Amino acid sequence: MNDRQIIRTRPIMLIEDNPDDRDLTIRALRKHNIRNPVTLASDGAEALTMLLGDDHRDQGNPALILLDLYLPKIDGLEVLRRIRADQRTRAVPVLILTSGGEDKDLRAAYDLGANGSIRQPVVFSEFSEAVHTAGLFWLLLNQPPPDPQP
Amino acid sequence: MRASVILLLILFAGSAALSVRAYVLYERADLTIVSITAAGDSLLIELLNAETGQRGYLLTGKPVYLQPYDTALSTVGADQQRLGSQVSSVPGGGKYVVELKSLVATKMAELAATVNLARAGNHAGALKIVNTNEGLQVMDNARGVIADLQRAANTAGASRRSALAAQLVAFAALAAVLAVTDLLASFVLRRRLRRAGKEIGSLNANLEQQVQNRTLHLVRANKHLEAFAYSIAHDLRTPLRGISGFAEALAEDYGGRLDETGREYAGRVQEGCTRMATILDDLLHLSQVTQSDINLQDVDLSAEVTAICDQLRARDPGRQVQVTIQEGVRVTADRALIRSALDNLLGNAWKFTSRRDGAAIEFATAPAGDASLCCYVRDNGAGFDPAYAAKLFQRLHTPSEFPGTGIGLASVRRIIERHGGRTWAEGAVDGGATIYFTLNAEGTP
């Protein structure tokens, strides 16, 4: 099994509380033939449990995290801070989903170590294109960090 | 109140003048008594002088004794005339003068008769006339009339003087009363004015405070509204994204199961979403423009315009647009905001000249009416109806052949206004448009 196949089979984690955005994002991924399984978290607390909780660690890190900044319970910035603070997840690529006009939060996200951001334009086809391009890069072209030795 | 103070002042001046007049007349009345007395005495003395001369001549026969007589002869008339001119103010004065005149004439006639007889050598005849004692009688009568006249003059003068004195006192008193009243009135007036002035002052201060409070309130309310508009625009994007996304999914995934009308409807939903998305984006931009801090620095507008036009060209390489840019236009402004305003103006110019052969866009300065720098962006594109020039900056999106202008120009205006400048537009349908704006030239804060 080469690395690329591993990446392909590793899940994409989508942390998003809005079911519409969630379903449309999954549809955009599928439409562009990104076949990775998608793990869903609908708030920050759930996301952190799935990423850092010992019961859930057996699947390893996701290939990519798509993170909405505005989440119930624990917000996106805090989720990002804890992902970067944990030795096991600090190198996982994280892309921020923004709807634009949140410059301050986006800057904070980069300061905390976000790898990039995808604007979610209102017109869905544009978002779909963006997801496709980002998926191509992060899931196919990018050489991901090897999993830390247990 | 002020009118009455002035009226009192006039009355005071009048009564003061009247009292001065009374005083002058009072003094003049005294003078009349003195002159009547003097004239009467003088006349009597002249008569006595004439008689003394006559007696001396009759006694001695020496003509030297006639000298007082001759003198009297020439002055008696003048004395009588002087007396006559003074007696007008004495009641019955004329009567005394007439009486005196006839007595003087009789006396002078008697004296003349005796002197003439004596000159002719008829001393006996002359003495005979003297001895009749008629002359003595006339003299006594004249003395009596003069004394009567002097007494009458004295009485009349005294009563006139006392009347004038009463007048003088009355007018002086009136003047004094008026002066005091006037002083009081002006004092009261001044106090009232001062009180009114204080009241106006406190009312003004109050009003200022009220205006300040109201302004503060309005500013706060405005901020709330803007923040509200921002969050509405922001929050509306999420459901709109859902509508747009699912409409697209419907068309793509289930388009085959819809007939042509159904597919068209799905397309219409997407178009509506796109339009609404533009409006929301512009609203968000407008809010950001309104709320962001202003960071003033020197900005080379010519360079910014050049960069924007290069971008427009790169994005739309098929277009042939002649761009003319005045060099060296420098202002003091917030670079990011001004850049956004120019983006808008040049973007519009680019868009509205898209159907024009020989499209031209110009950026330059124009003479400003004041100290500011007046710039404009001109194009020869579709233009607008000048009747709507004022509304150009307020209009929200209306579906038109060139969508997406209204809020853009509103943002431009907001940006320029936040720099203390003004915006206005000139244009004609199919005659191009010129958007003017004023800013502070570089170096003027």
| CA-closest candidate to residue B323, choices B313, B331, B336 | B313
**Interface contact flag, A122 B239, Cβ < 8 Å:** no
Name the token pair of B441. Answer: 């030239």
**Interface contact flag, B284 A21, Cβ < 8 Å:** no
Examine the pLDDT at A5 and tell me if it is beyond 80: no
**Interface contact flag, A24 B274, Cβ < 8 Å:** no
- Residues in chain A with CB shorter than 8 Å from the CB of B244 are 122-124
Interchain CB contact of A129 with B (< 8 Å): no
Name the token pair of B78. Answer: 């003048």
Q: pLDDT digits over A59-92, tens only?
A: 678 889 999 988 888 889 999 999 999 988 888 9
Partners of B424 in beta bridges: B436
For residues B43 and B1, give the distance between their C-alpha atoms in angstroms, rounded to a whole number: 62
Q: pLDDT digits over B211-250, tens only?
A: 999 999 998 888 888 888 888 888 888 899 899 999 999 9
For residues B255 and B260, give the distance between their C-alpha atoms in angstroms, rounded to a whole number: 9
* Mean of pLDDT values over B41-62: 85
Interchain CB contact of A113 with B (< 8 Å): no
Nearest to A120 among B239, B241, B252 (CB): B241
| CA-closest candidate to residue A50, choices A35, A60, A37, A64 | A60
Q: pLDDT digits over B6-41, tens only?
A: 888 888 888 888 888 888 888 888 888 888 888 888
Give, rounded to a whole angstrom, the gap between the first and last alpha carbons of chain B.
53
Q: pLDDT digits over B312-350, tens only?
A: 998 888 888 999 999 999 999 998 889 989 998 999 899
CA distance, residue B290 to nearest chain A CA (Å): 14
**Interface contact flag, A124 B244, Cβ < 8 Å:** yes
Examine the pLDDT at B57 and tell me if it is beyond 50: yes
CB A100 within 8 A of CB A106: no
Examine the pLDDT at B129 and tell me if it is beyond 90: no
User: Strand, helix or coil at B344?
Assistant: helix
CA distance, residue A142 to nearest chain B CA (Å): 28
Phi, psi of A106 (to 5 degrees): -65, -40
Determine the pLDDT at residue B191.
Answer: 92
Q: pLDDT digits over A13-22, tens only?
A: 999 988 998 9
**Interface contact flag, A99 B280, Cβ < 8 Å:** no
Examine the pLDDT at A35 and tell me if it is beyond 80: yes
For residues B429 and A83, give the distance between their C-alpha atoms in angstroms, rounded to a whole number: 59
Residue in chain A closest to B235 (alpha carbons) equals: A99
CA distance, residue A21 to nearest chain B CA (Å): 7
CA distance, residue B373 to nearest chain A CA (Å): 32
Determine the pLDDT at residue B401.
Answer: 46
Interchain CB contact of A124 with B (< 8 Å): yes
Res. B375 pLDDT band, cuts 50 70 90? very high
Examine the pLDDT at B393 and tell me if it is beyond 80: no
- Residues in chain A with CB shorter than 8 Å from the CB of B240 are 122
CA distance, residue A81 to nearest chain B CA (Å): 25
Residue in chain B closest to A124 (alpha carbons) equals: B245
Residue of B236, B238, B273 to mutate when probing chain A, most A C-beta within 10 A: B238
A89 alpha carbon, distance to own chain's centre: 12
Examine the pLDDT at B396 and tell me if it is beyond 50: no
Examine the pLDDT at A56 and tell me if it is beyond 80: no
Task: Find all residues with CB under 8 Å of B80, minimum gap 6, and list them.
Answer: B43, B97, B100, B101, B104
Determine the pLDDT at residue A7.
Answer: 52
Determine the pLDDT at residue B282.
Answer: 80
| Other beta carbons less than 10 A from residue B168's beta carbon | 20
Residue in chain A closest to B289 (alpha carbons) equals: A101
| CA-closest candidate to residue A67, choices A1, A22, A34 | A22
Determine the pLDDT at residue B306.
Answer: 93
Which secondary-structure segment (H or E) carries B50? helix B2-60
Angstrom CA distances, A95 to A48, A87, A149, B48, stand at: 16, 19, 24, 151
Res. B437 pLDDT band, cuts 50 70 90? very high
Residue of B241, B278, B340, B411 to mutate when probing chain A, most A C-beta within 10 A: B241
Name the token pair of B29. Answer: 């009345």
Name the token pair of A19. Answer: 């079911």
- Residues in chain B with CB shorter than 8 Å from the CB of A125 are 248
Residue in chain A closest to B230 (alpha carbons) equals: A101
Examine the pLDDT at B125 and tell me if it is beyond 70: yes
Interchain CB contact of A125 with B (< 8 Å): yes
Give A120's DSSP letter: -
Give, rounded to a whole angstrom, the gap between the first and last alpha carbons of chain A.
20
**Interface contact flag, B241 A122, Cβ < 8 Å:** yes
Residue of A123, A127, A128, A132 to mutate when probing chain B, most B C-beta within 10 A: A123
Determine the pLDDT at residue B90.
Answer: 79
CB B298 within 8 A of CB B330: yes
Q: pLDDT digits over B100-118, tens only?
A: 888 888 888 888 888 888 8
A27 alpha carbon, distance to own chain's centre: 15
For residues B33 and B341, give the distance between their C-alpha atoms in angstroms, rounded to a whole number: 105
Cβ pairs bridging A and B (under 8 Å)? 55
Res. B399 pLDDT band, cuts 50 70 90? very low
**Interface contact flag, A24 B241, Cβ < 8 Å:** yes
Interchain CB contact of A141 with B (< 8 Å): no
| CA-closest candidate to residue B251, choices B236, B237, B271 | B271
* Mean of pLDDT values over A5-29: 83
Angstrom CA distances, B170 to A70, A89, B159, stand at: 100, 117, 16
Interchain CB contact of B244 with A (< 8 Å): yes
Determine the pLDDT at residue B397.
Answer: 43
DSSP string, A42-53: SSHHHHHHHHH-
* Mean of pLDDT values over B389-413: 65
* pTM across the whole model: 0.54
Percent of residues, chain B, with pLDDT higher than 70: 96
Examine the pLDDT at A100 and tell me if it is beyond 80: no
Which secondary-structure segment (H or E) carries B165? helix B134-254
* Mean of pLDDT values over B73-80: 82
B50 alpha carbon, distance to own chain's centre: 80
Interchain CB contact of B279 with A (< 8 Å): no
Res. A32 pLDDT band, cuts 50 70 90? confident
Determine the pLDDT at residue B363.
Answer: 94
Interchain CB contact of B266 with A (< 8 Å): no
Considering A112-126, B80-94, B186-200, the range whose residues carry the highest mean pLDDT is B186-200
